Structure formats: structure tokens, C-alpha cells
Structure 1
Amino acid sequence: MEIFYLLCSIVSTSLTSLFLSLVLTFHALLRRRNSSRAASSFSNIEAEPISLYEGTVWHQRRHPVNHSFQYRVRYALIDLDRAPREPHDHLSPDKARQITDTNGPILLLTIPPSVGYEQNPLSVYYCYAVEGSTKWLKKCIAEVTNTPWGERVSFLFNPHSDLVAKALHVSPFMDMLGSWNIKANDPGENLTISISVHHPEHGNYFAASLKARKLCSSPESDHAVFFWLMPHKVAVWIYWQAIKLWWKNVRFVQHPRYNIPSYKDEALMRDNKLQCCGCLAEASPQNRWFRWRDAKWPWS
């Protein structure tokens, strides 16, 4: 039945995206005719609250088979306090500051929706502290969303380096026993995020990274063209790599909600143990914040 729902979702999304792509093409042609007004937008580019990044996502698995791949990706880094509209389905800047106990800017790294579809395996909030004229990156919040269920876990982490108990069934080819070692730099001309999985039996058997560079910005009206079908491409890559792992006979792991209904509580306990063991730069069980969002229909 879930396969049937997945196929229906793919067909529905494809038809919607095709129609909206035709609308986007029509709008792009109209904007080209008004090139003089578009040129004037570039003169105010420094005031834009959105920075564009392009780079590469890389994955490598070393157990039970060797499997690696990489693909090109485009991201937006949004100043949430200055954005003309709040991004849908994300935290507000005030909520992010409350969670991280910061008082400075909040930047959100994400792939914006495109022609009616959204696919964001990972979004990151960069939360800054300000004292006088000094600003520094103090904390980050990760939003991890799984495919195809659309479940999400959000959690606080130290960008300099942190070890977080795995709290979401991200891949049907991984169990829930690992921990995420996550690190992110202060985004500037270059942006990097690295994640590795520490497993009690398999060791450090999985690693992933995002490396991107900042591009010359474009007028906001061109962002829809810049991100056209980007979420769709990410989804295709996810499903294609899943097919490859299945073809390599990697064992399929059932979603823990069917056999470990308390997996969220277990993740919290494992994370508290990580912190109590001094694995964090600021070791204290009270510092970690988690929030889950359940699967959307029809997976709920």
C-alpha cells in the first residue's frame, strides 16, 4: 500500500510541477522583456537578505558494502530577520533565538520549494551572538527530514564539533544505534558541513559533506529560475541511490515506529549519555534540544 501511495505522490507532484514550470517559463520571458528594471535591481544587491550557494554533496558508506556518490546542489542562505517573507515550514528567527539563547542574526540554509515541491534532507540555522561590535557563531539548529515519510527532527548542536544521538529513521538502510558527528563552519565565501556516523558495532562507517561557494547574487525574481527543479533532483538522487543499495543486497531496515515505538525516548537517553561522558564542548544534558514532527499523510 505504501508503494501505491508513493507512486501516486510522484505522479501528482510531476503533473503539478510540469504546469508550474510552464507558468515559470512564461514569467521568465516577461521579465526578460523588462531587462532595464531587472538591471536596476542589481544596483541594490548588497541589501538582499538571500545569498546563493552552489556546491557538492558527497556521501560514502563503508559497511556492509563500499558505496559512494556525489551530486551538485544549490542552496539559499536566508537572513530570517530581513527576509521579505518568512520561509514556509521553518522556525521563526525569534523562536530560533529562544532555543539557542542568542541575541544576534539568524541565518537559514535551505533548498527553497520549486514549482510546487519541497525536498530538504538537511536545513541548518546559524545562530549568532552579539556583544558590542563583536558577532560570532554560537549555536546551530539542524532540521533533518527523511524521505519519503516527511518526518523531521530538529536539534541543537555546537557548530565547532558535536556528537548527537541519531534521532530519526533517515535511511531505510541504517539502524538507529549510531550517533551523528556534525560540524559546520561560519558561512562566508565558502560553506562546509560535515557529518559522520559513529556506530557501536561498525565504527565510523558513513560520512557525508556539503561544500559550497557563494555566488554573485541575483534579483529575487530570478531565484525561482535558479532553484528550478532543485528539490526534484535531490529526490531523484535519493531514490536512485536507494535502488543501488538494494541492488547491492544491503539489508532493508524497517522503520522503528513498527518495532521500537519508544525510539525517540531511547534517542534522548543515548544523547544524555553522550553529553555526560564529556563528548560535548559544553557537556550538560540540559543543553540539548530536540523536536520531532510526525510523518505527513499518507505515511502517518
Structure 2
Amino acid sequence: MSPRAPALYRSVITHVRAGDTPYGLRHRTYLWLVDLDALPRLPGPLRWLARFDPRDHFGGTAGTIREGLDRFLAAHGVETDGGRVLMLAHARVLGYVFNPLSVYWCHGPDGALRCVVAEVHNTYGGRHCYLLGPETADSPARTSKEFYVSPFLPLAGDYRMRLPEPGERLGISVHLEGAGARRLTATVRGTRGPATPSAVLRAAVRHPWSTAAVSLGIRLHGIRLWLRGLPVQPRPRHEPQEGMQ
């Protein structure tokens, strides 16, 4: 059965870097699980604490996030035929959002999972989507890395992603492998809670300006790695994907 939405997940994000300069980070935050056809709308002044804007996803030019997703899927030969789509992501908080990873579980009209989309953003303003099969929900799927994310990791490599639909608990993982070794492991673990106005307010107080904190944290950790002497990898030009214009 498809999970209920909307919901909030109190989450812990971890990144573990392997290799000659091992490094780990751990960040607490909260994430939204929403139905793209029934996005939540908070009352009055609380709307500054959660807004879902189509310009923050896919090409940023569609009228809604759902339209942006459908445009991307159609460009890659996939149709959901109006089935339900669930998105796991940060909402805009105080007018700002940064989503290193947004996940979309795309169902057909019969409720069966048809595909999973992993949308990745980097701190240079770029975005890229990985289209994965429904098996990703049960076992890791492999896909080539096609998008520059960390300045300390080359573009070459393969991802192994496991992205099960969240229930009472959230548990997704992404492994980056290259040159015969694992380079990076990222996980998101969380517990489900209600998305009521009071719950959103408590989450915002517990994690002030959570979206800016994510972006700032990434940059601070990057500075630490640079100070440790890690070489910066050249950033190639990234051409927009089909359906992302």
C-alpha cells in the first residue's frame, strides 16, 4: 500500500567518505513526504515554513512540480497515466531551499510502482535526474554517475541506490563506487510524524532555517576537506537533460 502523505520525517543524514582521506559527517534535519497532486498548504504566517515551488525542481519552468516530472518522464519514454507520485524533499523555508537529493516514487493508476526518480542538485546551481526502475525500492540499482556533485570526487563512477518508499521509518542509501573501491556512502534515516501546523512549527524551532543549514553545512565540510589537502576535481560543463529545459 502506498504511504500516506503528507508526513514529516525527523531524519539523520550521514556521509562517509572512504579512501586516503576518510571523512564522515552527520546532520539532523526533517524532510517532507508529499503527494504531488495534493501538496500541503499551511495556514497564514506558517506558509513561510513550508512551500513547494515548481522552480525548485526539474527544469524549473513548469506550472507545477507534477508537470515538471511528467515532462521529464515523457522525454524518457515513461508514462504514469495519472498515477500517484510521492516526493521526499525539503520544502522552502523562509524563502530558501536546497535539496541535495529529492526522491519521487511514481505509481500507475493501479497503485503499482512504475519507476523512481532521484533528482540531485549541486551547490553550483546544477540539477540532474536519475531514472530508475521499480526494483530500486527493494534492492540496490546501479547507474552511472553523470553529474558533478562534490569538488573532491571525479565524475567517473557508478551509484548503487536503494530507495524504498518510506513507511513508519525512512531508510535510503546511495553508494558511489569507482576504480574498484567504494568512495562514498550516503544514508538518510528517519521516523515518520504528522505534518500538522503545530508539528511543522516544532520542527522549525528544533531545526532553525533547516534548508539554509544544509547548504551552509555542505560548504563548511568542503572547506575542511580542502584544508586537509584534497585536490579539487575539474568541473565539466553539464548540459541539461531532455525534459529538464
For normalisation by structure 2, the TM-score amounts to 0.77
User: What is the count of residue pairs matched by the alignment?
Assistant: 212
Q: Which amino acid aligns with 2:223?
A: I
Give 1:64's aligned amino acid: D
SS of 2:92's equivalent in the other structure is coil
Question: 1: distance between equivalents of 2:98 and 2:202?
Answer: 17
Does residue 141 of structure 1 match 2:117?
yes
CA distance in 1, matches of 2:119, 2:232: 24
Q: Find out whether 1:72 has 2:45 as its counterpart.
A: no
> Could you say which residue in structure 2 is the equivalent of 1:93?
66
Q: Which residue does 2:191 correspond to in 1?
A: 213
1:151 aligns with 2:130: no
CA distance in 1, matches of 2:213, 2:86: 24
- Change beyond 3 A, Cα 1:202–1:244: farther
Within 1, Cα distance between the matches of 2:190 and 2:89?
13
Tell me the SS of whatever aligns to 1:52: strand
- The alignment's C-alpha RMSD in Å is 2.5
Distance 2:85 2:201 in 1: 23
Which of the numbers 229, 235, 244 marks the counterpart of 1:255?
235
Matches within 5 A, 1:198-277: 198-199=177-178, 201-219=179-197, 223=200, 226-227=203-204, 228-257=208-237
Larger Rg: 1
Tell me the distance in 2 between the aligned counterparts of 1:290 and 1:212.
33
User: Deviations for 1:164-206, whole angstroms, at most 9, x for unmatched residues?
Assistant: 111111010011111111111121111111101111x252121
Residues in 1 aligned to 2:225 and 2:242: alpha-carbon distance in whole angstroms: 30
State percent identity of aligned pairs. 26
Change (3 A) 1:217 1:210: same
Between the aligned partners of 1:54 and 1:64, the Cα distance in structure 2 is: 33
Separation (CA, whole Å) in 1 of partners of 2:242 and 2:190: 27
**Secondary structure of the corresponding residue to residue 214 of structure 2:** helix
1:186 corresponds to which residue?
A: 165
SS at match of 1:237: helix
Amino acid paired to 1:71? H
Gaps of 5+ in 2: 42-50, 59-64
Q: 3-state DSSP class of the match of 1:256?
A: coil
**Code of the aligned partner of 1:65:** T
Aligned to 1:250, the other structure's residue is in SS state coil
Per chain length, whose mean CA-contact separation is higher, i.e. which structure has more relative contact order (CA < 8 Å, sep 6+)? 2
Q: What code does the residue aligned with 1:138 have?
A: R
Is this contact kept in 1: 2:52–2:92, CA < 8 A? no
Over 3 Å counting, the alpha-carbon distance change for 1:196 and 1:49 in structure 2 is closer
Where 2:156 maps in the other structure, the secondary structure is coil
Do the aligned residues in 2 keep the contact of 1:111 with 1:119 (CA within 8 Å)?
Answer: yes
Is the 1:156–1:290 contact (alpha carbons within 8 Å) kept by the matching residues of 2?
Answer: no
* Greater percentage in helix: 1
Q: Is 1:83 paired with 2:83?
A: no
Give the structure-1-normalised TM-score: 0.64
Residues in 2 aligned to 1:242 and 1:233: alpha-carbon distance in whole angstroms = 14
In the other structure, the counterpart of 1:197 is 176
Specify the code of the residue in structure 2 equivalent to 1:69: L
